[in-house]
Amino acid sequence: MSPGGPVCFYGDDFTGATAHLAGFHEAGLNALMFLRTPTLAQAQRHLADEDVLGVAGISRSLAPAAMDQEIGPAFALFRALGARQAHYKICSTFDSSPRLGSIGRAIEIGRACFGAAPVPVVPACPSFGRYVVFGNLYAQAGDAVHRLDRHPAMSRHPATPMNEADLRRHLAGQTTLASALVDWRAVRAGGPALAEAWREAAAGDPGAVVFDTLEDADLDRIAAMLWEASAARPLFCVAAQGLAEGLGRHMAQVTLARRRVQAGIADAGPMLVLSGSAAPQNAVQIERALAAGWEGIRVDMARALSETDRPGLAREVGEAMLAALRGGRSVVAYTARGPDDPAIGQVRGLGLSEDVSVAAVTGLLFAQWARLAVQGAGLGRLVLAGGDTSSLAMRGLDAYALRIAAIARQGGRLCRLVSDQDWLDGVEVMLKGGQVGGPDAFVDAARAEAWRV
């Protein structure tokens, strides 16, 4: 455990949470992530062996009222563990809205638990093409970098379309708390100048303080400053995986964190991809898998969302999936192939009530099919694509935690499940956000040379 208590984090979805976990993993730290908030006794059993403890959550898919019940117990656990820092891990594209996955509400919950102090907000991840300049978030798509409200995917996100790139304005739609900024000039100066800029921003008693970030060196400066700030009192932050990367590097230099011992990665047999993403990059990855001879199974979401038709759909997809896997063919089962897939409009046209969660239904089906593939076809590695659906699918399995096993050379993480069930313990799962990974991410997932430990 690190001096002054562990670093703890709650991820607002599973794929994002694994990205945060990976930031610490790459620095050589010991890090474990629970798939739901554990009891204090469960967490304490692992505390002595870990530098970082995380909880993979689902708050990005929840309304503000439901977020309290989801996030509150995790934050209370972190406080009880004596966390030096507690992070609310968000997507590096700031996915949120006043009605869904409100980051503003998460800040309010965090301040209620850890104290009404200004909350550092560090969403950038330059290594992943995410930058903040004068409080505005930019994200890479292909070879171009777009302001977030003009990004080809995020401006059209089916759940949380982003129409504002200024993060202070974006947060103003989600909370009455004011937001301040530490801009790139202070960040680039680093050291005492950065610490003074943080103190000046905090002196106005804002609810949140956004930090500009243009390069990894900026993250290192921010991480070092926040590490020193957390020596005096526990620090609650809102951050994407960039802060985990910078903080991991800093912790490895200044603490007695242990170097992890990691097993190697082998080639896998037939693969299963369960895709609940409509992102353009994810669509390319599906096309590449189909072109490579994979069995493609479209999941009819109209049937999935019908309580009458859902059992039949689950059985039909499961049977087709098992037949292909047992025959040595890899399978990709998908709900959509890109943002223009007619299936998206068909679901919107169903007139579903607000209490019907498409992600929740899809996640339950994915968990059922993943379990079937492991138990019925001996599958040792699978892929869950799409942040919200993969989050909910993971909660439907019998694992209670996971560790990073390897990092994909083109983006994505391979995790090993920790379970009391022998059939599931050690199964490898790649959790992949929709826009993450190269064109051949699904095909490459089976190849040992595509991963680095």
Specify the pLDDT at position 389: 83
Specify the pLDDT at position 260: 58
DSSP β-ladder status, 399-408 and 451-452: antiparallel
Which tokens sit at 372? 């079937």
Angstrom CA distances, 387 to 153, 251, 391, 393, 422, stand at 14, 28, 6, 10, 27
Residue matched to tokens 């200004």: 118
- 182 forms beta bridges with 211
The dihedral sign for the CA sequence 345, 348, 351, 357: positive
Angstrom CA distances, 302 to 185, 257, 339, 345, stand at 51, 50, 17, 11
Neighbours of 319 (CB within 10 A): 12
Stretch (H or E) spanning 384: strand 381-385
Specify the pLDDT at position 369: 98
pTM above 0.85, yes or no: no
The answer for residues whose C-beta is within 8 angstroms of residue 192's C-beta and 6 or more apart is: none
Radius of gyration of the chain (CA): 21
pLDDT mean for each 10 residues of the chain (453 residues): 81 89 93 95 91 94 95 98 98 93 98 97 96 97 91 82 93 98 98 97 97 98 97 96 97 73 80 94 96 97 93 98 97 94 84 66 95 96 88 86 87 86 94 87 91 82
DSSP output for 195-235: HHHHHHHHHT--SEEEE-B-SHHHHHHHHHHHHHHTTTS-E
- Cβ(84)–Cβ(235) under 8 Å? yes
Report the C-alpha dihedral over residues 143, 414, 137, 193, rounded to 10 degrees.
-110
Specify the pLDDT at position 392: 82
The full set of domains in the chain, from first to last, is 7-254 (3.40.50.10840), 272-452 (3.40.980.20)
- Cα 92 to Cα 138: distance, rounded to the nearest angstrom: 10
Angstrom CA distances, 285 to 17, 54, 117, 152, 437, stand at 22, 29, 43, 17, 8
Angstrom CA distances, 372 to 16, 300, 375, 376, 379, stand at 25, 19, 5, 5, 9
